[in-house]
Amino acid sequence: MLTEEKKEFITFMVAADVLRFGQFVTKSGRNSPYFINTGNYRTGGQLAALGRFYAAMVQRVLGNKFSAMFGPAYKGIPLVAACAVALAEKYHIDKPYFFNRKEVKDHGEGGNIIGYKPVAGDRIILIEDVITAGTAVREVMPLLKGFGDVQVTDMFISVDRREYGQTPGKTAVMEVAEEFGLQVQALVTVEDIREWLAVTGGNPEDLRRMDEYREKYCVK
Protein backbone atom coordinates (compact mmCIF):
# COMPACT_ATOMS: atom_id res chain seq x y z
CA MET A 1 0.00 0.00 0.00
CA LEU A 2 1.36 3.40 -1.01
CA THR A 3 1.26 5.44 2.20
CA GLU A 4 1.97 9.15 2.48
CA GLU A 5 5.36 8.36 4.00
CA LYS A 6 6.24 6.14 1.04
CA LYS A 7 5.08 8.80 -1.42
CA GLU A 8 7.28 11.32 0.35
CA PHE A 9 10.32 9.04 0.21
CA ILE A 10 9.92 8.17 -3.47
CA THR A 11 9.45 11.85 -4.33
CA PHE A 12 12.58 12.59 -2.31
CA MET A 13 14.59 9.97 -4.25
CA VAL A 14 13.42 11.36 -7.60
CA ALA A 15 14.24 14.94 -6.57
CA ALA A 16 17.73 13.83 -5.50
CA ASP A 17 18.25 12.09 -8.88
CA VAL A 18 18.67 8.81 -6.99
CA LEU A 19 15.64 7.20 -8.63
CA ARG A 20 15.43 7.49 -12.41
CA PHE A 21 13.05 6.09 -15.00
CA GLY A 22 14.05 5.06 -18.52
CA GLN A 23 16.12 2.17 -19.80
CA PHE A 24 19.11 0.92 -17.82
CA VAL A 25 21.27 -2.21 -17.75
CA THR A 26 21.85 -3.52 -14.22
CA LYS A 27 24.87 -5.47 -12.98
CA SER A 28 22.90 -8.65 -13.55
CA GLY A 29 22.57 -7.73 -17.23
CA ARG A 30 18.84 -7.12 -16.98
CA ASN A 31 17.28 -4.23 -18.89
CA SER A 32 15.59 -2.32 -16.08
CA PRO A 33 12.98 0.45 -16.54
CA TYR A 34 14.22 2.21 -13.42
CA PHE A 35 17.55 2.68 -11.69
CA ILE A 36 18.53 3.51 -8.12
CA ASN A 37 21.89 5.13 -7.44
CA THR A 38 22.23 6.11 -3.77
CA GLY A 39 25.65 7.51 -4.59
CA ASN A 40 23.79 10.57 -5.91
CA TYR A 41 22.91 11.74 -2.41
CA ARG A 42 25.40 14.57 -2.08
CA THR A 43 24.21 17.34 0.24
CA GLY A 44 23.88 17.73 3.98
CA GLY A 45 20.15 18.32 3.66
CA GLN A 46 19.65 15.13 1.67
CA LEU A 47 21.65 13.09 4.18
CA ALA A 48 19.70 14.59 7.09
CA ALA A 49 16.38 13.75 5.41
CA LEU A 50 17.56 10.25 4.59
CA GLY A 51 18.53 9.72 8.21
CA ARG A 52 15.04 10.76 9.30
CA PHE A 53 13.39 8.30 6.92
CA TYR A 54 15.52 5.44 8.23
CA ALA A 55 15.12 6.50 11.86
CA ALA A 56 11.34 6.55 11.54
CA MET A 57 11.39 3.00 10.19
CA VAL A 58 13.73 1.74 12.92
CA GLN A 59 11.71 3.42 15.66
CA ARG A 60 8.43 2.05 14.28
CA VAL A 61 9.72 -1.53 14.02
CA LEU A 62 12.01 -1.83 17.04
CA GLY A 63 11.67 1.24 19.24
CA ASN A 64 14.83 1.18 21.34
CA LYS A 65 15.05 -2.62 21.58
CA PHE A 66 18.49 -3.02 20.03
CA SER A 67 22.07 -2.42 21.14
CA ALA A 68 23.87 -0.86 18.18
CA MET A 69 23.70 -0.15 14.45
CA PHE A 70 26.15 -1.34 11.81
CA GLY A 71 26.67 0.13 8.35
CA PRO A 72 28.54 -2.04 5.80
CA ALA A 73 31.25 -0.24 3.83
CA TYR A 74 30.93 1.81 1.80
CA LYS A 75 27.39 3.08 1.19
CA GLY A 76 26.16 1.89 4.55
CA ILE A 77 28.58 4.17 6.40
CA PRO A 78 26.87 7.56 5.87
CA LEU A 79 23.47 5.86 6.20
CA VAL A 80 24.17 4.41 9.65
CA ALA A 81 25.66 7.70 10.88
CA ALA A 82 22.68 9.72 9.62
CA CYS A 83 20.22 7.25 11.12
CA ALA A 84 22.00 7.37 14.49
CA VAL A 85 21.81 11.17 14.54
CA ALA A 86 18.11 11.22 13.59
CA LEU A 87 17.20 8.57 16.18
CA ALA A 88 18.92 10.59 18.91
CA GLU A 89 17.51 13.96 17.89
CA LYS A 90 13.93 13.02 16.99
CA TYR A 91 13.20 10.03 19.21
CA HIS A 92 15.78 10.38 22.00
CA ILE A 93 17.09 6.91 21.14
CA ASP A 94 20.83 7.39 21.53
CA LYS A 95 22.47 4.20 20.30
CA PRO A 96 26.07 3.52 19.25
CA TYR A 97 26.96 2.82 15.64
CA PHE A 98 29.93 1.28 13.87
CA PHE A 99 31.14 0.30 10.42
CA ASN A 100 33.89 -1.65 8.74
CA ARG A 101 36.85 -0.89 6.53
CA LYS A 102 37.28 -2.84 3.32
CA GLU A 103 41.00 -3.05 4.11
CA VAL A 104 42.40 -3.98 7.53
CA LYS A 105 44.46 -1.15 9.05
CA ASP A 106 47.90 -2.35 10.12
CA HIS A 107 48.91 0.69 12.19
CA GLY A 108 47.44 2.85 14.94
CA GLU A 109 44.51 1.06 16.53
CA GLY A 110 44.57 -1.54 13.73
CA GLY A 111 41.67 -3.76 12.74
CA ASN A 112 38.81 -3.11 10.35
CA ILE A 113 36.03 -1.93 12.69
CA ILE A 114 35.49 1.75 13.45
CA GLY A 115 33.23 2.98 16.22
CA TYR A 116 31.42 0.77 18.68
CA LYS A 117 32.85 -2.68 19.51
CA PRO A 118 30.07 -5.23 20.12
CA VAL A 119 30.02 -7.36 23.27
CA ALA A 120 28.30 -10.62 24.18
CA GLY A 121 24.53 -10.29 24.36
CA ASP A 122 24.28 -7.35 21.96
CA ARG A 123 21.46 -7.10 19.43
CA ILE A 124 22.86 -5.57 16.26
CA ILE A 125 20.85 -4.13 13.37
CA LEU A 126 22.13 -3.42 9.85
CA ILE A 127 21.58 -0.18 7.93
CA GLU A 128 22.14 -0.54 4.16
CA ASP A 129 20.94 0.99 0.88
CA VAL A 130 19.66 -1.92 -1.23
CA ILE A 131 20.16 -5.66 -1.49
CA THR A 132 21.00 -6.70 -5.03
CA ALA A 133 22.66 -10.09 -4.60
CA GLY A 134 23.34 -10.06 -0.86
CA THR A 135 27.10 -9.88 -1.33
CA ALA A 136 27.71 -7.16 1.26
CA VAL A 137 25.66 -8.99 3.89
CA ARG A 138 27.52 -12.24 3.33
CA GLU A 139 30.83 -10.40 3.66
CA VAL A 140 30.04 -8.71 6.98
CA MET A 141 28.10 -11.42 8.82
CA PRO A 142 31.22 -13.49 9.66
CA LEU A 143 32.85 -10.25 10.87
CA LEU A 144 29.94 -9.48 13.20
CA LYS A 145 29.66 -13.04 14.43
CA GLY A 146 33.37 -12.88 15.23
CA PHE A 147 32.53 -10.71 18.22
CA GLY A 148 31.05 -13.74 19.95
CA ASP A 149 27.57 -14.16 21.32
CA VAL A 150 25.86 -11.30 19.47
CA GLN A 151 22.56 -11.36 17.63
CA VAL A 152 22.13 -9.76 14.21
CA THR A 153 18.37 -9.63 13.92
CA ASP A 154 17.16 -6.89 11.58
CA MET A 155 18.23 -5.13 8.40
CA PHE A 156 16.82 -1.84 7.11
CA ILE A 157 17.14 -0.89 3.43
CA SER A 158 15.84 1.83 1.10
CA VAL A 159 14.28 -0.25 -1.67
CA ASP A 160 13.27 -3.88 -2.11
CA ARG A 161 13.40 -4.46 -5.86
CA ARG A 162 11.64 -7.83 -5.33
CA GLU A 163 13.76 -9.43 -8.05
CA TYR A 164 14.56 -13.12 -8.28
CA GLY A 165 17.80 -14.12 -6.60
CA GLN A 166 19.72 -17.36 -7.12
CA THR A 167 16.90 -19.56 -5.80
CA PRO A 168 13.82 -20.04 -8.00
CA GLY A 169 10.80 -18.26 -6.58
CA LYS A 170 12.77 -16.25 -4.03
CA THR A 171 14.13 -12.71 -4.05
CA ALA A 172 17.65 -11.80 -2.96
CA VAL A 173 16.07 -10.26 0.15
CA MET A 174 14.27 -13.53 0.93
CA GLU A 175 17.51 -15.49 0.47
CA VAL A 176 19.45 -13.23 2.84
CA ALA A 177 16.63 -13.29 5.38
CA GLU A 178 16.51 -17.08 5.41
CA GLU A 179 20.27 -17.61 5.32
CA PHE A 180 21.00 -15.36 8.29
CA GLY A 181 17.68 -15.27 10.14
CA LEU A 182 17.22 -11.57 9.43
CA GLN A 183 14.05 -9.55 9.37
CA VAL A 184 14.52 -7.24 6.37
CA GLN A 185 12.55 -4.00 6.32
CA ALA A 186 12.41 -1.71 3.27
CA LEU A 187 11.26 1.88 3.10
CA VAL A 188 9.61 1.11 -0.24
CA THR A 189 9.25 -1.76 -2.73
CA VAL A 190 9.13 -1.84 -6.51
CA GLU A 191 5.33 -2.13 -6.23
CA ASP A 192 5.26 1.16 -4.31
CA ILE A 193 7.40 2.82 -6.97
CA ARG A 194 5.14 1.56 -9.74
CA GLU A 195 2.04 2.82 -7.88
CA TRP A 196 3.69 6.20 -7.23
CA LEU A 197 4.46 6.51 -10.93
CA ALA A 198 0.84 5.81 -11.78
CA VAL A 199 -0.75 8.22 -9.26
CA THR A 200 1.64 11.05 -10.16
CA GLY A 201 0.85 10.81 -13.86
CA GLY A 202 4.06 9.13 -14.93
CA ASN A 203 5.03 8.34 -18.50
CA PRO A 204 2.74 5.52 -19.78
CA GLU A 205 5.75 3.94 -21.50
CA ASP A 206 7.63 3.80 -18.19
CA LEU A 207 4.60 2.15 -16.59
CA ARG A 208 4.37 -0.41 -19.39
CA ARG A 209 8.05 -1.27 -19.10
CA MET A 210 7.78 -1.57 -15.32
CA ASP A 211 4.87 -3.99 -15.65
CA GLU A 212 6.77 -6.09 -18.18
CA TYR A 213 9.88 -6.09 -16.03
CA ARG A 214 8.01 -7.09 -12.86
CA GLU A 215 6.25 -9.89 -14.74
CA LYS A 216 9.58 -11.24 -15.99
CA TYR A 217 11.95 -10.74 -13.07
CA CYS A 218 10.03 -10.03 -9.86
CA VAL A 219 8.43 -12.17 -7.19
CA LYS A 220 4.90 -10.96 -6.54
The residues annotated as belonging to the active site are 105, 107
Torsions phi, psi for 90 (to 5 deg): -90, -35
3-state secondary structure of 2: coil
Question: Which residues contact residue 172 at a Cβ distance below 8 angstroms, ignoring those fewer than 6 apart?
Answer: 131, 132, 133, 134, 161, 163, 164, 165, 166
* CA separation for the pair 61, 153 (Å, rounded): 12
Q: In what order do the strands lie in the sheet with 123-127?
A: 111-115, 97-105, 68-71, 123-127, 151-160, 183-189
* CA separation for the pair 122, 113 (Å, rounded): 16
3-state secondary structure of 18: coil
Torsions phi, psi for 51 (to 5 deg): -60, -40
